[in-house]
Amino acid sequence: MVLGLDIGTTGVKALALGDDGEVLSEGQHAHDLLSPHPGWAEERPSDWWQGALHAVTRTLSGRPGVLPRSIGVSGMVPAAVFLDASGQPIRASIQQNDARATTQIAACRQRYADDELFEHCGNVWNQQVLPPKLLWVREHEPDLWTRLHRLSGAYEYVTYRLTGSVYAEANWSLESGIWDMKQQRWNDDLLTRLELRVPNLPAVRRPHDIVGTVTDQDAADAGLPRGTPVIAGSADHIAAALGVGLRQPGDVVLKFGGAGDLLYVVRDFAPVRELFIDYHDLPGLFVLNGCMATSGSLVKWFRDHFRPGWSFADLDHEASGIPCGSDGLIVLPYFLGEKTPLHDPDARGTVIGLTLAHTPAHLFRAILEGVAYAFRHHVDVLEAAGHSLAHVYVTDGGARSTLWRTITASVLGRDVHLLEGGHAASAYGTALLAGIAAGLWDWSNFPTPNVATVTAPDPVATSVYRERYEVYRETYRRCRDLYPKLSARPA
């Protein structure tokens, strides 16, 4: 069998696949997203490593003598892990949805224009790319900056702990804003003009490349034999696209993880300014990627603060009694700023329409509707760029919610397809890559899940949501100039 791990926003998941693609066992271990100041998003790399060990132990327990042929790790991109000369993290990671570096974004834009960045990197200046965050660390944490020996991503860090191998996976590089797609190398001209020295940027590897073998004793104690091959791994959303079988232009996947992703396959490197673009794990294809800063993490925030101790099923049951449109309540889900398609780190979570008649159940339903509106906004961007949608697939934890699927189908006015298994799509996709590296299958015959459930839009709800969506869009336009006044940050 082969093993896939996913370093997620709220936990590490592990999954073992047999040589027929059947899921043999799974394990997971939770960790926290840290937001000590408004707009900040950090995590402890040590939590990822310990979570990986726990998740692997749980996945392999009860299967004596069944050992992985190869291993792959996926994770969030482009998380920034700051390592010293001994390979130890010198601070918490700065996550891809962190929105602290607004001043530095403006400074980068003055020295290297958006048009130029888009031409070379397929990106524009926003809260996701790395240079503004690196400038923030240099300005606000100079003592730590002097200790910086090497940058890493989340899954590259865990792979480094497993193997000792140093590399950058292709999509971490592409989404970093430092990789020059035209020249196929790190963009030294950009770094020079920003007066930013980033030491020891490593060689770039593709997801299925074997980068090393397990050498760590703790990993061996968790059940991973020394010498087991480990691949470069994958960006979590791209592994999810592979895991659900997304390979045809026109098909789209909505990923309801801690963040929200929209994934759309294209055949050429043809970026859209409002979106990100990635290499597909399938050679020769690319993925247009819409990435919202919050999705499932917003649902978790609501539960922890308004309904502690409740299950997500309990929340759904309570909210299902609220009519579509939440009796006039609308939520803009920009609780960590917003990445695509707004590229506005100053945006803030906004609740409009509250009355004394509203309850927490109204607010919860309005949150689910707000995330669905945000996905609809991305669909509008795709269609404006000349792309048409064929099938809509949903995956990850939030996709298990019948209520959320129904809301999303009604907001989009399209059938929504849930795939069989209910497994962590990113871990599943990464295990598929590990299986390709191990020779268990190839690019033409790797396993893909079947559709389990098709959720159709409700015609009445679709009519209501069509009107509410326009209010949702107008609310942002009216509030956009106010958000910077609310975004006080520590000096």
Q: What is the pLDDT of residue 491?
A: 43
Please give the Cα distance from 90 to 113 (Å, whole number). Answer: 31
On the question of pLDDT at 332 being above 70, the answer is: yes
Span 39-58, pLDDT tens digits:
899 999 999 999 999 999 99
Span 246-256, pLDDT tens digits:
888 888 999 89
Q: What is the mean pLDDT of residues 460-477?
A: 98
Please give the Cα distance from 251 to 451 (Å, whole number). Answer: 14
H or E element in which residue 256 lies: strand 252-256
On the question of pLDDT at 421 being above 80, the answer is: no
From the list 263, 304, 345, the residue with the least C-alpha distance to 97 is 345
Span 204-222, pLDDT tens digits:
999 999 999 999 999 999 9
From the list 278, 477, 264, 473, the residue with the least C-alpha distance to 385 is 264
H or E element in which residue 453 lies: strand 451-455
Chain centre distance of CA 374 = 15
H or E element in which residue 382 lies: helix 360-384
H or E element in which residue 106 lies: helix 102-111
| H helix intervals, 222-277 | 236-243
Higher pLDDT, 265 or 450: 265
From the list 166, 161, 191, 163, the residue with the least C-alpha distance to 176 is 191
Contact 15, 22 (CB under 8 A): no
Quick check: helix, strand or coil at residue 73?
A: strand
Please give the Cα distance from 305 to 363 (Å, whole number). Answer: 12
Domains with residue ranges and CATH for the chain: 2-236 (3.30.420.40)
Q: What is the pLDDT of residue 396?
A: 81
Please give the Cα distance from 224 to 218 (Å, whole number). Answer: 9
Span 72-126, pLDDT tens digits:
999 999 999 999 999 999 999 999 989 899 999 999 999 999 999 999 999 999 9
User: What does pLDDT average to over the chain?
Assistant: 94
Direct distance between the N- and C-terminal alpha carbons of the chain, in angstroms, rounded to an integer: 51
Q: What is the mean pLDDT of residues 326-333?
A: 98
Tokens representing 374 are: 């945000």
Tokens representing 240 are: 């999810």
Tokens representing 408 are: 């999303």
Q: What is the pLDDT of residue 488?
A: 59
Contact 375, 399 (CB under 8 A): no
